Structure 1
Amino acid sequence: MHHPAQSKRVLLYIIIFLAIAVIGLTYVKWMPYVDKSMTAISTHSIGDSILGTDPDKAESASFAGAWEYAVTYFGSVWKAAVLGILLGSLLQVLLPANWLIRVLGKTSFASTAAGGLAAVPGMMCTCCAAPVAVGLRKKNVSVGAALAFWIGNPTLNPAALVFMTFVLSWKFTALRLVFGIILTFGVSYLANRFAPAVKPMDTEKLLQQAAQEEQGSFLLRWLKSLGKMTLFILPAYFLSVLLMGAVKGWLFPQLGEATGSSILLLVLIAIGGMLFVIPTAAEIPIIQTFMAYGMGGGPAAALLLTLPAVSLPSLVLVSKSFPKRVLVFVSVSVVVLGVVAGIAGNYIL
C-alpha cells in the first residue's frame, strides 16, 4: 500500500504532467490549428507545399538543397519537437510506472486502443511524437500501445482531417480515417507478436524495479532522462532530416505526371512517402500541388497515408526503443496499406 504522503505526491506529479501537456499543446498545436482551420475553410488552402510549388522541376541531390529543406522543416516543427522531448522526458519521472504498466503495459487490444486514443489530442508529426513513444517504452509500456500512440498522432490528427476536408475533399478524409484506424489500431496490435512475450512474473519484476527507480531526487532523475534523450535524439534527428532533404528529388521525381495506376508506381510512391519526413499536415499542400500538376487519385491516396505515418528520421529516433522486427513490420505495413489506399483512390478520388 502507498503511504498517504506518497499517494499525494504521485497525484501532484500526474497533475503537473497533464498541466504541462495541456499548456504546451494549446500553445504549439491547438490554438494555431484553430486559425489554420479558419484559413482552410475560407481559402481551401493551408499554404504552399514544403516540396516547392512546381513538382515537375527535377532536383538533384545537393548539400544546399538538403540544408534548405532542413531549415524550412525545422522552422516549422521546432516548437513541437521541443515539446515532444520535454513530455517524453517528464513522462519518465512524473507518471507512475505501475499505472502505465497496468493500463498500457499489456499486449491486449485494450492497451493498444488506449495508446491510440491518447494520441488523438496530441496532433504531432511522427518525429515530434517519437520522443514520447521512447519515454513510454522506457516505462515498459507494451509495443502495441506505444506504437499506437506514435502512429496515431500523425494519422488520426483531427486538425489534419478538418484541413483535408476543406482543402482536398471529404473523400480524402474518409480514406485517411479508414486506413489511419487500420494502421494505428490493427497494425500496432499485431506488432505485439513481433516483440518478446512479457510473462506475468516479468511484469511484477518491472513494477518492483520501477518503484525503486522512482525513489530519489525528482530533478536529478528528470535531468538524467532529458540528457539521455537529447544527446541521442537531436543529432540523429538533424542528420536524418538533412539526408531526406538531399534525396527528396529522387524520392518524388516528376510526381505531377504520376497519373497512372500501375501497382509498381504505387509501390514506389508508397516507399518514398514512408521514408520522407514532413511537418504536421504538410501532406495536404503537397498533394494539392501535385494534383494541380496532373497527379492521379491513386498516387495521391498513397501519399495521403504514407507521408505522415512514419519516416526514416522518426524510425531512427525510436530505433533503440522497439525491436528491429517490429519497425520492419510497421514500415512494410505502411507501404502495403499505402498501396491498397492508392488502389482505392483510383476508384474513389
Structure 2
Amino acid sequence: MRILFKTSYDFDINHLVDPGERVRVLLLIVLALAAPLFVSAYGLSELSLFLCYALAGLGLMVLTGFSGQVSFGHAAFLGVGAYAHAYLLGHGIPFFVALPLAGLISGLLGAALGRAASRMHGFYLAIATLAFAILVETVIGAAEPITGGHIGMSVPGIEIFGQSLAASWQHYYLYLAILLFFVWGVANLKRSVNGRAMIAVRDSETSAQSLGVDIARTKITAFFVSAFITGVAGGLLAHQLYYLSPETFGLGESLKLLLMIVVGGLGTISGALIGAVFVSFLPNVIELLREVLPGRVAHQVGLEPFMFGAIIVGFIIFEPDGLYGRWRKFRLFLETYPYYKRATFTRQKRYLKTGRFR
C-alpha cells in the first residue's frame, strides 16, 4: 500500500496530489489534443457533441452531486442557453459575448427557480423541476417571433475576430478549451467556501445551519452556477445541432443528463466526464439491442427512456458511487492486495438522515 506524505501546506489544496492521477490526467489531455490527427471529421463532430454533454453534466453535477438538489428538468436550461445564444448571434453579438450572456440568462432563470424551490426537497423538488422544464418547453414553442416556435430556429455559424470556424477540428478545439476551463473552475469551486457550503447542505441541512451556513442562499447559488454552466453547454450544443426545436430539450434530454451523473458517479468531476462517455455510446448500444430483441419490443416508442430509467435505478441500488466509484474501489484493491479487508469495500452512507428545514 502506497502512503502519501504531506510535505507542504499546499498538499491539502492541490487538485491532484496522487502522482499516478497526475499522469493519467496528463495523458488524457495529450490524447485529447492529438485526437484531430487520427480521427475523421465525423469522429471529431461526435467528440464535440460529447464535450457539450460533458459540460452539461458538469453543470448538473454542481446542483445534484455537490448540493444534493435533484433536478428532473435540467434540459430546460440547456434549451434556454441554446436559444439565447442563437438569438444573440443572429443579432450581431460576437461569439465570446453571446456565449457567456446565454449562460447568464440561463443562470438567472436557474436562480429564480432555486429561490422558489429553496424549501422543497426530494420528490417535491423533482416534480417542481419537471414542471419547470415542461413550462419552458411550452414557452419556447409559443414564443414564435423570438424562437421560431415549433417550426424551429436556425443557428448562425461561429465567427471569432472576423474568422469563420467551419471545420470540425476548429469546433473541437474550441469546445475542449471551454470544457477544460470549466473543469478547472468547478474544481476550484468545490474547495471554496461556497462549494464546501453546498456539500454541507447536501449531507445535512441541520448540521450545516448549526455551523452558520445560509441554506437558502447556498441552494440559490448552486442553481445559478449549475444553470449558468448548462446554459453555456446549450450554446455550444446549438452549433452541433444547426437547427433548434422545442422538442429537442424535452424530458428525454433531462433524463439523459441525470443518467450521466448517476452512472458516472455523484459528487465527482470525473463522474460527469465518465458519464458523458457512457451516455454518448448508449444510443448505439440500444440500436444494437433492437436488432436482437423481438420485433414487438424493439420497435416500442419508449424503449430508450425505459432503458435510461432502468439503468439509473440499477446504479442507485447496486452501485450508487457510479463507474468512478467502482474504479476507485478497484484501484484500492490493487494497492492493498493481498492485505485488503472485505469491510474496506462496505458501502458507506453518503447522506445523513437528519431533519430538513421546511
- When normalised by structure 2's length, the TM-score is 0.29
- When normalised by structure 1's length, the TM-score is 0.29
Q: Which protein has greater RCO, CA pairs closer than 8 Å, 6+ apart?
A: 2
